[in-house]
Amino acid sequence: MLIHSASQLLTLSGGPQRGTTLGELNLLPDGAVLTHGERIVEVGQSSDLLARHPHETLLDAGGRVVMPGFVDPHTHLIFAGDRAMEFEQRLQGKSYLEILASGGGILSTVKATRAASASQLTGLLRQRARQLLRLGTTTAEVKTGYGLELDSEIAQLMVIAEFSDPLSPDLVPTFLPAHAIPPEYKGDSAGYTRLVMDGMLPQAKDLWQQRFPGRPLPFVDVFCERGAFTLEESRLILSRAAALGFPLKIHADEFENLGGASLAAELGAASADHLVCTSPADIHTLAGSQTIAVSLPCTPFGLGETAYTPARDILKAGGLLALASDFNPGTAWSGNMQFVLALACRYLKLTPAQAIAAATINAAAAIQRDDSIGSLEPGKLAHLLILDTDDYRQLGYRFGANLVTTVIKNEQVISNPEDAGC
Ligand code: NIG
Ligand code: FE
């Protein structure tokens, strides 16, 4: 297929963008992309590609922006139930961590999710994933973490890993049994930490290798926070995971600065996520590493807080910055990456170009997939969006609507209704 006549073809070519180099769109005016099967084979000027490939199936972008699909490197998309009641409690003055400490929060979603069958969870996942694709997300990381016991954590991991749907983003699984201390271990975080390290991680690895021989292991993540896992517990769990060969992620500094970002850098984690209360020293350490700083601006927005990731400091220090939605029922029930960009422009002070690069090529690096997605370059997967505008800066500037008219993925062209963008 030859997708041609893009007003602006945002190629994002050249790999992950560090520090203040963030925002290199490598934009081709009047651009075109030639795909064969599910891969991109050529990128160039429309006139040139149209002349050299006269027999290709044509898709006319009609003078609109064409760009890579969004990559969302941090979601909790698989859960049952909702927490509208806690939203109301928070508005009346209770804090997120107080609700968690009193057995609600994540633990209330754990109750609902444990009670759901695998087929119910698959149905909920499919419904949410399909919405994300229509909003332009073509790859999404998805975490377990609402089981907190071996069987149900493994069941969630299998639902994510076995999920396949032509109308959904590709999913990248993360194993997060260390999301909270389950009620069965209340007051015994050391005991639950041991269970994760000595029971859950080795069993998840064995089962994974039996079920999916040759497939890379999922990420292992930890919620390093007061009321969840201490820095030392996080270190123990992540070090064991690394020794077993799992790639790593961490939830760090969402509410307090415990040092999780530096731990991520030290252990060579793929990403450290949240980073709202990160200290200058931790920013410095993180920026000097290969670990991607993933900011989740929907989370402070969803909690009605005013502090966001110090993104400009991270860039000034030379860090690699990505954006994600954090879709979850507690703090951020939204997987709309266009809204994430709008928040990032306003509260992280990113330009639209920086936000786009953080949500494509750098987001791909945060899930170690930047060799196959995140930019429009020959050899990569043909995951493309056509926007309902000729100017990429409309992303970030406009919010609350869907500017994606068409998603191209796995040789399919999925079009949104014409009035979706108003
Ligand atoms: O990333 N902070 C931990 N995990 C999620 C929230 C999950 C929940 O509240 O259900 C987050 O914000
Ligand atoms: Fe999260």
Domains and CATH numbers, the chain: 2-68+375-415 (2.30.40.10), 70-365 (3.20.20.140)
- pTM, rounded to two decimals: 0.98
Q: Which atom of ligand 1 is nearest the CA belonging to 254?
A: 2
**Gap between the Cα atoms of 163 and 75, Å rounded:** 15
240 C-alpha vs ligand 1 centroid, how far in Å? Answer: 23
Contact 41, 365 (CB under 8 A): no
Judged by its nearest atom, the ligand closest to the C-alpha of residue 146 is 1
Helix (H) and strand (E) counts in the chain: 17, 15
**Cβ(146) to ligand 1 under 6 A?**
no
Q: How far is the CA of 43 from the centre of ligand 2 (A)?
A: 35
Question: Cα separation of 401 and 37, whole Å?
Answer: 31
Residues 6+ apart with CB under 8 A from 258: 224, 225, 226, 230, 231, 234, 252
CA distance 112 to 79: 8
- C-alpha span between 84 and 196 (Å, rounded): 30
* 3-state SS class at 229: strand
Atom 2 (ligand 1) nearest CA = 223
- Using 50, 70 and 90 to split pLDDT, how confident is the model at 421? low
- The residue contributing the CA closest to ligand 1 atom 3 is 223
pLDDT score for 417 = 82
- Mean pLDDT confidence for 394-420: 92
Residue 349 in tokens? 């002070």
Q: Report the amino acid identity of residue 8.
A: Q
* Neighbouring residues of 305: CB distance < 8 A, sequence distance ≥ 6: none
Dihedral pair phi/psi, residue 412, rounded to 5°? -110, 145
- Residue from 83, 141, 75 nearest 110 by CA: 83
- Which residues have C-beta under 5 Å from ligand 2, the single-atom ion? 326
**Cα 39 to averaged position of ligand 1 atoms, centre (Å):** 35
Output the pLDDT for position 418: 74
Average pLDDT over residues 7-33: 98
Rounded CA-CA distance 399/297 in Å is 14
14 CB neighbour count, 10 Å cutoff: 12
Q: What is the pLDDT of residues 372-398, one digit of tens each?
A: 999 999 999 999 999 999 999 999 999
Confirm if 181 and 149 have CB atoms less than 8 A apart.
Answer: no
Residue 308: closest CA among 347, 280, 279: 347
- For residues 276 and 331, what is the distance between their CA atoms, to the nearest angstrom? 14
**Cβ 223 under 6 angstroms from ligand 1:** yes
Q: Whose CA is nearest to atom 9 of ligand 1?
A: 330
Residue 326 Cβ inside 6 Å of ligand 1? The answer reads yes
Is the distance from CB of 255 to CB of 96 less than 8 angstroms? yes
CB 300 less than 6 A from any atom of ligand 1: no
Which runs of consecutive H residues, i.e. helices, occur in 135-224?
150-162, 189-194, 201-211
179, 303, 308: residue to mutate for ligand 1 pocket, most atoms within 8 A of CB: 179
Whether residue 235 is predicted with pLDDT greater than 80 in this model: the reply is yes
Name the residue at shortest CA distance from atom 8 of ligand 1.
Answer: 330
Of the listed ligands, the closest to the CA of 145 is: 1
Tell me the mean pLDDT in the region 338-347: 98
106 lines ligand 1 (CB under 6 A): yes
Q: Tell how far CA 239 is from the center of its chain.
A: 23
pLDDT tens digits, one per residue of 274-283? 999 999 999 9
Cα of 328 vs centre of ligand 1, distance in Å, is: 6
Q: What is the pLDDT of residue 287?
A: 98
Ligand 1 atom closest to Cα of 274?
A: 1
